[in-house]
Homo-oligomer: A and B are copies of this chain.
Amino acid sequence: MKWLEGGVTAAKGFEAAACAAGIKYQGRTDMALVYSAQPCRVAGTFTSNVVKAAPVLWDQDVVKNSPYAQAVVVNSGIANACTGRQGMDCCQAEAAAAAQALGVPASSVLVASTGVIGMQMPIDKAVAGIRALAGDKAASQEAGLAAARAIMTTDTVPKQIAVQFEVGGKTVTLGGMCKGSGMIHPNMCTMLGFVTTDANISKELLQKAVRESVEDTFNMISVDGDTSTNDTLLVLANGLAGNEEIIEEGEAYQTFYEALLAVNTYLARKMAGDGEGATALIEVKVEGAATVREAKILAKSVICSSLTKAAVFGHDANFGRILCALGYSGVQFDPEKVDLYFQGTKGRIHIFGDGAACDYSEEEATEILSEPEVTILVEMHMGEACATAWGCDLSYEYVKINADYRS
């Protein structure tokens, strides 16, 4: 597997575009299109929130019932959530406009929105934007990057990546972009992810790969514990790589799965590290847990602890907060058996063991906690299972962004 520059336009046959439709933001692009002239198999995962945004309801229907997909229309600024009947009408109008402008069935058009909840979309502006996107679409790397920028809200950097690998002698490409900072616990600005590939793979296996890879990637990040109404990950596969269709879980599927996992891991880490107001990416590795489920619960409990996050922001080795978060996770364990380490680029230090603090150097600990990526390693000594979760520190800037966000 080879890493590539690029994102949603890296795979054969995919085009993208961005435009400034004036949905809510001024002076920046705020709509994006991903398009494939070749019909695509599509798989998706969506927010578990009971309150689902209109585009989520729309896409769930397309993924389930449409034979194929050809376009994704995305806007930033307004989430089109808590918008009632008018919100669904907007999705329909967007799909109809894209269908007409691109010459595809409306049932092959997916839509996604991110931004303020409860505000109605300006449908006319969205429709005009879609026409502009259809006219501008291109297969270039620049077009892919422009799309990744247009879907940003409070993100500080666009997030995209692509990989290339071989399946049965054919070169397959898979690339993606995302915005936001979470899925199980995302930032209100929503996690949106779009992955495109020219792999030829059955719809069932594509959906399986998406569902399973999400469990270890996007579902293991958290910025603030709030699960958005809009979270969406869509994967489109148009088959143009020409490989024999992957229809069973053999070597070809495994190769494809590993590439998808690599791309999703990269994008999930980028999201966590670009969480609102973040100054550091925090990685929590739990090893030696009794089961994978418990390892995940423990890792997530630490990554979600406001106090742990604030301590990392302050570069303070306040390890008691980590023990505390493990303790209230709901998993039963003996605190006397837990070993805790901080790990940085220069190695790791043992912080806690045998039920009490180790004799570590506060200076060294502070040094590790001042790096842009901080790893907290927890060894439970209960079994063989492990899990990794990603998040970010809690800064003044997080509060600032979220106290002012709507205005």
Measured CB to CB, the residues of A under 8 A from B are: 48-52, 79, 81-87, 116-120, 188, 224-229, 304-307, 310-311, 313-314, 316, 318-321, 323-329, 331-333, 335-336, 352, 354-357, 394-396, 398-400, 402-407
Contacts and interface: CB of A to CB of B under 8 A. Distances in A.
B328 A50 contact: yes
B226 A327 contact: no
A228 B407 CA distance: 35
A313 to B, nearest CB: 5
A396 B310 CA distance: 11
Contact of A399 (B49, B331, B352, B399): B399
A332 B50 CA distance: 7
5 contacts: A48-B328, A50-B332, A229-B324, A314-B404, A316-B403
Contact of A226 (B324, B395, B403): B324
Contact of A323 (B117, B327, B336, B403): B117
A320 B118 contact: yes
Contacts of A118: 318-320, 323, 352, 356-357
A383 to B, nearest CB: 17
Contacts of A335: 50-51, 82
Given A84-B336, A227-B328, A313-B399, 10 more contacts: A51-B327, A82-B352, A85-B355, A119-B357, A188-B324, A225-B306, A306-B306, A311-B402, A316-B406, A398-B399
A389 to B, nearest CB: 16
A183 to B, nearest CB: 11
Nearest to A225: B306
A399 B396 contact: yes
A343 B120 CA distance: 24
A333 B52 CA distance: 12
A226 to B, nearest CB: 5
Contacts of A229: 320, 323-324, 327
Contact of A117 (B82, B316, B320, B402): B320
B226 A86 contact: no
Contacts of A332: 50
* Those 5 A-B pairs whose CB atoms lie nearest each other, nearest first: A117-B320, A314-B403, A51-B327, A310-B402, A84-B355
B82 A357 contact: yes
Given A83-B356, A224-B306, A403-B311, A50 B188 contact: no
Nearest to A326: B51
Nearest to A325: B226
Contacts of A188: 307, 320-321, 324
Given A305-B226, A328-B48, A399-B398, A406 B85 contact: no
B356 A324 contact: no
Among A328, A329, A331, chain B packs the most CB atoms within 10 A around the CB of A328
A355 B324 contact: no
A399 B307 CA distance: 9
Contact of A310 (B314, B326, B403): B403
B328 A403 contact: no
Contacts of A406: 311, 316, 318
B356 A82 contact: yes
Contacts of A324: 49, 51, 81, 117, 188, 226-229
A50 B357 CA distance: 18
Contacts of A226: 305-307, 321, 324-325, 328
A278 to B, nearest CB: 12
